[in-house]
Chain A
């Protein structure tokens, strides 16, 4: 009996799956991006749409109960609190004079890497 799911469970699973795609994308971004500021963006990827889709999936799975309402509250608090964390990290780095990498610096680094390897 493989197909013993209700439609609601399948929709919920699809939402959670969609959310996890963004979580994975966020992890990939964390590893691939070059400097501190750009990595904050990668974390933002998971905390917004990843979180949102996962919570919507869980709320659909749970149905119209008080638990689903509590999930909505948690999700709202995540949305209010997360940008503050990102902003404080970014602000601390910026105020302490951490250098912002630009596209030019990235090209330069690539050239230097190429020189070393060949």
Chain B
């Protein structure tokens, strides 16, 4: 009960009006792309449905942080930073794809599968989501588990893939994307 109350009092990061307008524009643009014509009827339908969807969904798209003091908007990312991050991620994807393709088609399977672990701590819960999804999207690395205290367990296929995750460039990019301070430490393998 106490947690519920504290979540209602949680401070929303950023302005709710800007969030609502951004979500509305996103949904309306998606509607127009699917409709594909500029008839008045469809524009009016689009405005109404986008408005109702924003009204219903906005409270669901606020994620509380760990201690429940702040709420973050899910799409609350600076758009230009996000685009530059996407371009960087695409380039990483190309490199990782070629790496995995070489490893799997080489004569004697040039692989070194293992689980690597690291701690990554930020305040914004969406940063965890973006980091885990980016790592999984990159071939050669799959996020197996993310625990509440920020322990990432990653399965890496090749030596290069494991190094790519552990050298901290991914973590730095994601933290920069959300403009937050972060803690990063590699858990050494015990053997």
A associates with B? yes
Chain A stretch 69-111: residues in CB contact (< 8 A) with chain B: 69-70, 73, 79-80, 82-84, 86-87, 90-91, 93-95, 100-103, 106
Alpha-carbon gap, A53 to B95, bound state (A): 14
Contact: A103 with B144, CB < 8 Å? no
Which residues of B sit under 8 angstroms from A91, Cβ to Cβ?
A: 143-145
Task: Confirm or deny: B111 has a beta carbon within 8 angstroms of a beta carbon on chain A.
Answer: yes
The residue in A37, A52, A84, A95 that gathers the most chain B C-beta atoms within 10 A of its C-beta is A37
Contact: B142 with A29, CB < 8 Å? no
Contact: A22 with B101, CB < 8 Å? yes
Task: Confirm or deny: B109 has a beta carbon within 8 angstroms of a beta carbon on chain A.
Answer: yes
The residue in A32, A41, A84 that gathers the most chain B C-beta atoms within 10 A of its C-beta is A41
The minimal Cβ–Cβ distance linking B26 to chain A, given in whole angstroms, is: 12
Nearest residue, chain A, Cβ from B112: A103
Task: Confirm or deny: A20 has a beta carbon within 8 angstroms of a beta carbon on chain B.
Answer: no
Which residues of A sit under 8 angstroms from B155, Cβ to Cβ?
A: 37, 40-41, 90, 94, 100
Given contacts A48-B93, A83-B136, whether A103 and B114 have CB atoms under 8 Å apart is yes
Task: Confirm or deny: B185 has a beta carbon within 8 angstroms of a beta carbon on chain A.
Answer: no
The A interface is mostly helix, strand or loop, or mixed, namely helix
Contact: A103 with B113, CB < 8 Å? yes
The minimal Cβ–Cβ distance linking A47 to chain B, given in whole angstroms, is: 8
The minimal Cβ–Cβ distance linking B88 to chain A, given in whole angstroms, is: 14
Given contacts A37-B155, A41-B139, A91-B144, whether A100 and B114 have CB atoms under 8 Å apart is yes
Contact: B142 with A40, CB < 8 Å? yes
Given contacts A100-B155, A102-B113, A102-B114, whether A28 and B133 have CB atoms under 8 Å apart is no
Contact: A73 with B33, CB < 8 Å? yes
Nearest residue, chain B, Cβ from A66: B36
Task: Confirm or deny: A12 has a beta carbon within 8 angstroms of a beta carbon on chain B.
Answer: no
The minimal Cβ–Cβ distance linking B91 to chain A, given in whole angstroms, is: 11
Interface string of A2-33 (1 = CB under 8 A from B): 00000000000000000000100100110011
Contact: B105 with A49, CB < 8 Å? no
Contact: B93 with A52, CB < 8 Å? yes
The minimal Cβ–Cβ distance linking A29 to chain B, given in whole angstroms, is: 4
Alpha-carbon gap, A66 to B34, bound state (A): 8
13 contacts across the A-B interface (CB closer than 8 A):
A22-B101, A28-B105, A41-B157, A44-B136, A66-B36, A69-B33, A83-B134, A86-B142, A87-B133, A87-B143, A90-B144, A91-B144, A103-B111
- Other CB < 8 Å A-B pairs besides A28-B105, A45-B139, A90-B142, 14 of them? A35-B113, A38-B113, A44-B138, A45-B101, A48-B139, A73-B30, A83-B133, A84-B133, A84-B136, A90-B155, A94-B144, A94-B155, A95-B145, A100-B155
By a beta-carbon cutoff of 8 Å, the part of chain B in contact with chain A is 30, 33-34, 36, 90, 93-94, 97, 100-101, 104-105, 109, 111-115, 132-134, 136-145, 153, 155, 157
